[in-house]
Amino acid sequence: MLNYISHFFERAQHLTRHLHHLLGPPGSSCLTCGTRAVLSARYPGICTRCVQQIPWVRQIRCQRCGRGVGCPDCVRPHMQHRSFVCNRSAVQYNDLMREWISMYKFRGHERYAPLLTALLLQAFQAMSEELTRICGKETPKPLWRPDALTYVPVSEERLAERGFNQAERLAAGLAAAARIPGVDLLQRQINTGKQSFKSRAERFETMKHAFSIHPDGLNLLKDIYHAKGHAGSQSPMPVQLLLIDDIYTTGSTLDACGQVILAAAGHVGIPLRIYTLTLARS
Which CB, 217 or 251, lies closer to Zn ion? 251
> Where in 194-223 is the site for Zn ion (CB under 5 A)?
none
Among 3, 51, 68, 74, binds Zn ion (CB under 5 A): 74
Question: Per rule CB under 5 A, is residue 62 in the interface with Zn ion?
Answer: yes
The count of other CB atoms within 10 Å of the CB of residue 20 is 17
Which CB, 40 or 165, lies closer to Zn ion? 40
Whether 244 and 149 have beta carbons less than 8 Å apart is answered as yes
Among 2, 12, 47, 175, binds Zn ion (CB under 5 A): 47
> Where in 6-45 is the site for Zn ion (CB under 5 A)?
30, 33
How near is the Cβ of 19 to Zn ion at its closest, in Å?
17
How near is the Cβ of 226 to Zn ion at its closest, in Å?
35
Question: Per rule CB under 5 A, is residue 50 in the interface with Zn ion?
Answer: yes
How near is the Cβ of 20 to Zn ion at its closest, in Å?
15
> Where in 78-107 is the site for Zn ion (CB under 5 A)?
none
Is the bond into 215 cis (omega within 30 degrees of 0)? no
How near is the Cβ of 82 to Zn ion at its closest, in Å?
10
Which CB, 11 or 36, lies closer to Zn ion? 36
Which CB, 71 or 218, lies closer to Zn ion? 71
How near is the Cβ of 116 to Zn ion at its closest, in Å?
15
> Where in 121-160 is the site for Zn ion (CB under 5 A)?
none
How near is the Cβ of 171 to Zn ion at its closest, in Å?
23
> Where in 102-121 is the site for Zn ion (CB under 5 A)?
none
Under the rule (CB under 5 A), what is the footprint of Zn ion? 30, 33, 47, 50, 62, 64-65, 67, 71, 73-74
